């Protein structure tokens, strides 16, 4: 049974999947798992819901499944995008970067959610700092 539309897209998981698929023409389940760093069961369930709602298409190829965002999914993502989604996406990319660099191995007892929450809390000040530095650089150059 599929989840109602508002519930799927109310969870940030669905929005993050749509956002990842918007950035690339087609991604496998494994690529999405790696890109988003979410739990396998959550990704599977959320993808099934997105497919059922018509926001994502699934293409089987051998033992693999590939996913693309539909026009309806792209439209819905555009309608629901917000600064919070952007900050969540940045936090996920930070998490992925920390993981790829082996930094997370130093903290085996710390949950993924704790690291994401710590990253999210720093993003607004990081963006503000970048904005200030750009203003200074552009002020000096212009």
Q: How would DSSP label each residue in 36-91?
A: H---HHHHHHHHHHHHHHTSEEEEEETTEEEEEE-HHHHHHHHHH--HHHHHHHHH
Distance (Å, whole) CA 103 – CA 97 = 9
The mean-pLDDT minimum among 75-79, 82-86, 91-95, 127-131 falls in: 82-86
Question: Beta partners for 27?
Answer: 67
Q: Where in the chain is the domain with CATH 1.10.10.10?
A: 5-80
For 90-113, the pLDDT digits (tens) are 887 888 888 889 998 998 898 877
Model pTM score: 0.63
- Residue 11, φ and ψ in degrees, nearest 5: -80, 135
Angle of CA points 39, 41, 46, to nearest 5° = 95
Q: Tell me the CATH architecture of domain 5-80.
A: Orthogonal Bundle (1.10)
For 5-16, the pLDDT digits (tens) are 444 444 578 888
């Amino acid at each position: 049974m599929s989840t109602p539309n508002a519930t799927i897209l109310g969870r940030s998981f669905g929005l993050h999947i749509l956002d990842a698929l918007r950035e690339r023409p087609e991604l496998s389940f494994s690529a999405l798992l790696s890109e988003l760093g979410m739990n396998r069961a959550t990704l599977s369930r959320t993808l099934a819901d997105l497919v059922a709602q018509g926001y994502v298409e699934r293409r089987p190829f051998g033992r693999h499944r590939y996913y693309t965002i539909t026009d309806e999914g792209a439209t819905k993502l555009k309608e629901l995008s917000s600064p919070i989604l952007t900050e969540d996406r940045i936090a996920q990319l930070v998490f992925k970067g920390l993981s790829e660099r082996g930094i997370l191995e130093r903290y085996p007892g710390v949950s993924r959610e704790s690291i994401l929450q710590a990253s999210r809390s720093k993003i607004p000040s990081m963006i503000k700092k970048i904005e200030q530095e750009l203003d200074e650089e552009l002020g000096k150059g212009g």
